[in-house]
Structure 1
Amino acid sequence: MPQLNPNPWFFIMIMSWLTLSLIIQPKLLSFILTSPPINKTSTTTKTNPWAWPWS
């Protein structure tokens, strides 16, 4: 079965992971967010329990 031969596919997988981790990832991580998240105060809402008609 030719699918079980790891000879060409293992090299392709290693090269793609190296390309991703060494070239693409540092470029993506260097971007500065244009609108950074701000700290918002969380508001809690008061909920009323449901009145089940059969209880």
Structure 2
Amino acid sequence: MSFERAKSHPNPASPSAIGQELLQLFGVPVNVLTRGALPRKLRATVLAEALPA
């Protein structure tokens, strides 16, 4: 898959697509990371503050 195609047809559940939806909703860039992608120093704090969906 080419980069251009991935940008025009992203997986709706991908972090990139979710980030784009949040940008449109909030009007500010939002970083969306998977649990494993969180920096180790921040992981425990972020997960402790996360609210269940």
Q: TM-score if structure 2 supplies the norm length?
A: 0.23
Which structure carries more relative contact order (alpha carbon 8 Å, separation 6+)?
A: 2
- The answer to which structure has the higher helix fraction is 2
